[in-house]
Amino acid sequence: MQHFAEILKDKIDNLNKPKGSLGRLEELAFQIGMTQQTLSPELRHPMHLLFGADHGIEREGVSVSPREVTWQQMANFTRGGGGVNMFCRQHGFELRLIDVGVDHDLSDFPDIINRKVAPHGTENFLYGPAMTEKQCEKALEIGREQVDAAYAKGCNIISIGEMGIANTSPSSIWMSLMLDLPLEQCVGAGAGLNSEGIAHKLEVLRKSVENYLSLSSEHSPSSLIHYFGGFEMVAAVGAMLRATELRMTVLVDGFIMSACALMASHMNPEFKQVAIFCHCGDESGHRLMLDRMGARPLINLGLRLGEGTGALCAFPLVASAVRMLNEMGNFQDNKITKYF
């Protein structure tokens, strides 16, 4: 692999441009070439997996949005009316909608894949684990199977999104406990809480963590993932882990998906080799999380919609990096004096 890395780097350095002059695009080209182990990588059949589920912790008033927004937005996505629909259309992504625990019967929407782990979402982790270990494994497996389905269609690049009211809460806790950071540095406004709402959210999450630590001092991924995670988040982690095994490029979205990426990288450090962190959002703590992970986001547009929209917005940069590697000539072939 080291020998191939040198060959790939040499190809990038000898394209007819000053060495390093295309900056991050050169880094992306190198990463994708290494992922696919080829000097001429392709981005085939891009797919966007959007997992939806509800959270028991929402009952504690930690989100400005009520839980019915989860199912209403999932239904809206089937009509093509969401931000995620627009960006998928713009950039040629196939969209797959997967219900892994939305608190609503979505059987009237055949475009939503029914893979509910539990019909009403997770339990309230203020009082105990959000899910059982068996449910956690099922959610992980659903993520894996969705990536397998994408791979079977020829896909080699995926983005992942989520729909789940209150899912910044478990994301903040994962961030705090896995990165050993004070909770107040990890908790933000979510969909739009005011200062009083943020203070209430922080207090609920602090008490949840205290209750968890009174039962166990263990911070292992296997403990944190099922105690605090949402079904849509755990499914996303499963998807990331399977994509790593299949050497598929993964476009990582905002705060929630970055928390899932943090979990996935703890479970398999090789995940970072295939992951492209696409944007830094406005949620408090996102920049800090990315910095602690050593991740450099491609764009910073003040996005905080979720759904995977930030990852989709960044896709043209990824596509440009691949085009650079495949379509630019080199100094020798174009008879240009190499001047560095």
CATH number at residue 125: 3.40.50.10210
Residue 12 lies in a domain: no
**225-237 confidence digits (pLDDT tens):** 999 999 999 999 9
User: In one letter, which amino acid is 323?
Assistant: R
Cα–chain-centroid distance for residue 80? 21
- The pLDDT tens digits of the residues spanning 69-121 come to 999 999 999 999 999 999 999 999 999 999 999 999 999 999 999 999 999 99
Domain of residue 76, residue span: 47-316
- Read off the pLDDT of each residue in 276-281 and give the average, rounded to a whole number: 94
Residue 337, pLDDT > 70, answer no
Is 119 a domain residue?
yes
Task: Please tell me the predicted confidence (pLDDT) of residue 305.
Answer: 85
Domain assignment of residue 2, yes or no: no
**Is the per-residue pLDDT at 2 higher than 90?**
no
Do the domain assignments include residue 160?
Answer: yes
Mean pLDDT over all residues of the chain?
Answer: 94
- Catalytic residue positions? 307
Q: What is the pTM of this model?
A: 0.95
Q: How far apart are CA 183 and CA 232, in angstroms?
A: 22
Nearest residue to 138 (alpha-carbon basis) of 115, 161, 104, 166: 115
Residue at 323 is within a domain? no
| Residue 24 in domain | no
Per the domain annotation, does 26 fall within a domain? no
Residue 175 lies in a domain: yes
Q: Please give the tally of structural domains in the chain.
A: 1
Mean of the pLDDT values across residues 56-60?
Answer: 97
Q: Is the pLDDT at 194 greater than 70, yes or no? A: yes
The rounded percent of the chain whose pLDDT value lies above 70 is 96
List, in sequence order, every residue forming a beta bridge with 52; answer none if it has no partner: 99, 163
Confidence at residue 22, expressed as pLDDT on a 0 to 100 scale: 94
